[in-house]
């Protein structure tokens, strides 16, 4: 092939790859969420809590601003849990032996999930306690 045909062939492959890769990206992303949901108990607990908070939001008719907070912090918690899981997989792949730095990395990423969960919990209390007290 001459260089012009090679370039055309390359560009055709790239266009097909781009069209294919967008769908593939969503497919891979969904597989990643499913993997975490199937293998991580804490993620399933967080999803359950998120579902209960959504139900409570509908029951108490929370404001748009309150919905925004709930959605954002819940996304933060779930995303950090997934990042924590991914980092644990990477670390376990790289080293099998105990290293204090590995323990620190795992503790720090788990701590990030704890901090975000705590913020979400406090925010949830601030939102829902007044709605709950209004019932009495």
* Nearby residues of 76 by Cβ (< 8 Å), 6 or more positions away: 116, 119, 120
Please state, for a pLDDT cut of 70, what percent of the chain lies above it. Answer: 85
* Sites in the chain below the pLDDT cut of 50: none
* Domain housing 93: 41-133
Is 81 one of the annotated active-site residues of the chain?
yes
CATH number at residue 118: 1.10.287.3610
Query: Which pLDDT does position 25 carry in this prediction?
Result: 87
Query: Do 58 and 96 lie in a common domain?
Result: yes
Query: Do 23 and 83 lie in a common domain?
Result: no
Q: Which of 6, 27, 81, 88 is catalytic?
A: 81
Query: Do 31 and 89 lie in a common domain?
Result: no
Query: Do 29 and 45 lie in a common domain?
Result: no
Q: How many domains does the chain have?
A: 2
Query: Which pLDDT does position 107 carry in this prediction?
Result: 95
* Nearby residues of 91 by Cβ (< 8 Å), 6 or more positions away: 102, 105, 106
Query: Do 69 and 5 lie in a common domain?
Result: no
Query: Do 61 and 1 lie in a common domain?
Result: no
């Amino acid at each position: 092939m001459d260089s012009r045909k090679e370039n055309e062939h390359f560009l055709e492959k790239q266009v097909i790859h781009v069209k294919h890769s967008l769908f593939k990206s969503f497919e891979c992303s969904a597989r990643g969420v499913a993997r975490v949901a199937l293998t991580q108990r804490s993620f399933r607990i967080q999803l359950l809590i998120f579902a209960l908070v959504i139900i409570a939001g509908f029951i108490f008719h929370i404001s748009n601003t309150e919905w925004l907070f709930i959605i954002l912090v819940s996304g933060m918690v779930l995303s950090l849990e997934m990042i924590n899981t991914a980092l644990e997989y990477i670390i376990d792949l790289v080293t099998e032996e105990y290293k204090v730095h590995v323990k620190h990395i795992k503790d720090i990423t788990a701590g990030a999930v704890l901090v975000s969960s705590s913020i979400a919990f406090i925010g949830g209390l601030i939102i829902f306690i007044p709605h709950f007290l209004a019932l009495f």
